[in-house]
Amino acid sequence: MIQTEIRVLRCLYINGKSRYSTSSANVYSDKIYKSVIDQGYKGLARHTIPENYGSNQIMASKNDEQLSQLIANFKSPIKFSIGYGSGVFEQTGYKKSKKPQIDMIHMVDKPADFHEQNLEQFSGHYSGIRMFGPAIISKIQEYGAGVYFNPYITMNTESKKNNIIKYGIISVEKSLIDLSEWSSLYIAGRLQKPVKYLKDADPAIKFINQYNLKNAMSVGLFLLKPSEFTEIQLYETIAKISYMGDPRMLIGGENPNKARNIVGKQFENFQKLYNPLLNFFIENNILVELQPDGSKRRFKKNLDNDKTSKIIGSLPLQFRRKLYKRYTSKFAEELSQDSQAEAVINGLHINTNGEIGPFTKAIAMDPQLRKNLVNSIKLTVTFPALIQTIKGIFSAGIIKSINYAWEKRTKYRHG
């Protein structure tokens, strides 16, 4: 296991000069994330992380006080925690009379330590698997996307009794790997949508999530078929990324209109999350704004081969590797002349220096790029999501699993 030491910059000025400005040009520049582009998670250790970073990611919800009291109930060590779903932010298609479950994910340094202390405090949250102890629970957690969930938990707060929550536990390391490399798009996909930060004690999460958001918008632009599109269409496309290939969508275990429902009620939060990126893409002439009018904003893609290949060459490392592998036969000659692309495919160290090789340029011109991106996303999402679903049966217990599956099936029918 890699032990990453992230240096925290307590002052945004070094020797009287600003290291990172708040302008979108600096926040999203490939130069900032170069070592992450080249080495993925390993490259993150080389970064100086500014505190008070990522103000576009800070969201308010209507039940902030309730959420604050819920997270305060946990005495086990939590480094970073997010709240999400219809229990935190409203979604279209939900009856107001029905109290939705509040979803959380806790990111912790040492899962075994968390489970050991959490079992002492909340042993009833675990299924019969608790009998095997924290070490075995942590081992089970590692499978799939690396998240262990306790669903349908009743938890009281000072302001409200009988809150129904579901909370997952994942290591900080696994979270950072997914955000920087798109290893499963489980955490990265969740943070591509608005979430509520319940506990924020690791600035590296917000820092690398800016890179995750940039990649989500880049891929979203590639996935959009029309060259002209609305802001809402862009956000709905981004929201769909992490659901592509999810087995629950295929078997009717999830609302087919989920992405549209999320954006419909959270449009302003999506604007806060992505407006700095829209400005960055406009500044860099990747997008042209056609109609700057509130929710009716329209844009046009301005992607030539050079811009497309540069974006492809800066995609998250594991995801880029999957995309490249789809082209090894088709562009074998170009690959033989492109040592950087070969290194990515073979999992070797690379140093891009901003250069784009002939293999990546050939991919940028391929008419099947969109199709291969979709297939690469599905390849990233499907297996971890399937394992998470199977694992949930054991971690939740049979009765809770049946209730959860029935609720999801009901949402699918209503969708």
Phi/psi at 310 (5° precision): -65, -40
106 closest CA partner among 144, 75, 66 = 75
pLDDT at 103: 96
Residues 88 and 224: their CA atoms lie apart, in Å, by 29
Separation in Å, CA 28 to CA 23, 120, 216, 289, 290: 9, 43, 12, 19, 23
359 closest CA partner among 309, 414, 318, 413 = 309
3-state SS, residue 149: strand
Instruction: Write out the two tokens for 367.
Output: 């008419």
The total number of residues shown for the chain amounts to 415
Q: Where are the alpha helices (DSSP H) in 45-125?
A: 64-72, 111-121
204 closest CA partner among 385, 404, 6, 3 = 6
Q: Which residue has the tokens 């999350």?
A: 273
Instruction: Write out the two tokens for 59.
Output: 């969201």
265 closest CA partner among 241, 243, 242, 239 = 239
Residues 322 and 234: their CA atoms lie apart, in Å, by 24
Describe the crossing of helices 111-121 and 134-142 by its angle, rounded to 10 degrees.
Answer: 130
Separation in Å, CA 255 to CA 101, 333, 339: 16, 44, 44
Alpha carbons within 13 A on the beta-carbon side of 372: 19
pLDDT at 402: 53
Separation in Å, CA 54 to CA 127, 166, 277, 325: 37, 26, 12, 33
Residues 308 and 179: their CA atoms lie apart, in Å, by 21
371 class by beta-carbon count within 10 Å (0-12 exposed, 13-18 middle, 19+ buried): exposed
pLDDT at 111: 97
| Contacts of 204 by beta carbon, 8 Å cutoff, 6+ apart | 4, 6, 44, 47, 49, 172, 176
Q: Which residue has the tokens 């406009």?
A: 282
Judge whether 168 and 125 are in contact, CB under 8 Å: no
Q: What is the pLDDT along the chain (415 residues), one digit of tens a residue?
A: 444 444 443 333 223 333 333 455 578 999 889 999 999 999 998 777 766 678 999 999 989 999 999 999 999 999 999 999 989 998 776 665 567 899 999 999 999 999 999 999 999 999 989 999 999 999 999 999 999 999 999 999 887 778 999 999 999 999 999 999 999 999 999 999 999 999 998 889 999 999 999 999 999 999 999 999 999 999 999 999 999 988 877 765 567 788 999 999 999 999 999 999 999 999 999 999 998 876 689 999 999 999 999 999 999 999 999 999 999 999 999 999 999 999 999 998 788 777 899 999 999 999 999 999 999 999 999 999 999 988 888 776 655 555 555 555 455 455 5
pLDDT at 335: 97
pLDDT at 294: 66
Q: Where are the alpha helices (DSSP H) in 186-297?
A: 187-191, 203-223, 231-240, 247-250, 258-283
Residues 310 and 353: their CA atoms lie apart, in Å, by 12
